[in-house]
């Protein structure tokens, strides 16, 4: 698959750091897809464009998602999450992507949801553990947890995310806490 048009668009619409993060996420998503028996090319594309709306001003992002029917309670409390639903809109309009799994993975790559598919999980995890822009102290616990499975890696991602939000004095969407608690329950029942 030729990713040139996507990369060119991203270079024009993202900061250099965000572009590098997108490349890293694409590479990581492809590796995770291979490890877990999923479509590598589809994962690469999704990882590549997952943050396509990230550098759009918050006000514009909020306006673009105000008519989304799947916004959850409290999702608009933190502008850092606006780019995910907006990104799914951009992917559909700008890149003409109609693959529901790609659009859903982009949509939920920041907050996640309680019933994520394995494909959505690998995009979520790849976003947090790509090695081009993420620090080792963030990557290593996720890598270690990944050896036990996707849900363990998800839990590690949520622990890191919640800790980071608290440290930065940012609001936490109720859904994030609910998913974290749900993952604890699921993994406790497996032990």
Distance CA 161, CA 168 (A): 11
Given a contact cutoff of 8 angstroms between Cβ atoms, the answer to whether 47 and 123 are in contact is yes
**Residue 123 · residue 109 · CB < 8 Å:** yes
In order along its 191 residues, the chain shows pLDDT tens digits of: 899 999 999 999 999 999 999 999 999 999 999 999 999 999 999 999 999 999 999 899 888 888 777 777 677 777 888 999 999 999 999 999 999 999 999 999 999 988 999 999 999 999 999 999 999 999 999 999 999 999 999 999 999 999 999 999 988 888 899 999 999 999 988 76
pLDDT for residue 58: 87
Which pLDDT does position 132 carry in this prediction? 95
pLDDT digits (tens, 9 = 90+) for 54-64: 999 989 988 88
Cα 169 from chain centroid (whole Å): 21
The pTM of this model reads 0.94
Q: How far apart are CA 129 and CA 74, in angstroms?
A: 26
Tens digit of pLDDT for each residue in 102-130? 999 999 999 998 899 999 999 999 999 99
Residues 6+ apart with CB under 8 A from 30: 40, 41, 43, 44, 47
- Half-sphere exposure for 186 (CA within 13 Å, toward CB): 14
pLDDT at 17: 97
CA distance 94 to 6: 10
Answer whether 153's CB lies under 8 Å from 48's CB. Answer: no
And the tokens for 189?
Answer: 């029942």
Biggest alpha carbon–alpha carbon distance for the chain: 48
Spell out the alpha helix ranges (H) of 53-117. 58-65, 83-94, 100-107
Length of the chain as a residue count: 191
Residue pair 22/47 in contact (Cβ under 8 Å)? The answer is yes
Q: CA 22 to CA 101: how far, in whole Å?
A: 18
CB distance 21 to 133 below 8 Å: yes
């Amino acid at each position: 698959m030729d990713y040139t048009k996507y990369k060119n668009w991203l270079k024009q619409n993202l900061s250099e750091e965000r572009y590098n993060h997108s490349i890293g996420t694409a590479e990581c998503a492809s590796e995770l897809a291979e490890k877990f028996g999923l479509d590598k090319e589809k994962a690469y594309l999704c990882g590549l464009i997952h943050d396509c709306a990230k550098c759009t001003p918050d006000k514009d992002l909020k306006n673009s998602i105000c008519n989304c029917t799947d916004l959850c309670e409290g999702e608009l409390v933190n502008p850092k999450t606006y780019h995910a639903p907006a990104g799914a809109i951009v992917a559909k309009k700008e890149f003409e992507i109609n693959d529901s799994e790609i659009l859903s993975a982009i949509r939920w790559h920041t907050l996640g949801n309680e019933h994520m598919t394995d494909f959505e999980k690998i995009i979520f995890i790849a976003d947090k553990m790509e090695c081009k822009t993420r620090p080792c102290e963030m990557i290593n616990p996720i890598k270690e947890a990944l050896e036990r499975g996707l849900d363990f890696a998800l839990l590690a991602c949520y622990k890191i995310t919640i800790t980071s939000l608290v440290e930065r004095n940012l609001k936490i969407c109720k859904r994030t806490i609910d998913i974290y608690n749900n993952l604890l329950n699921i993994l406790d029942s497996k032990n």
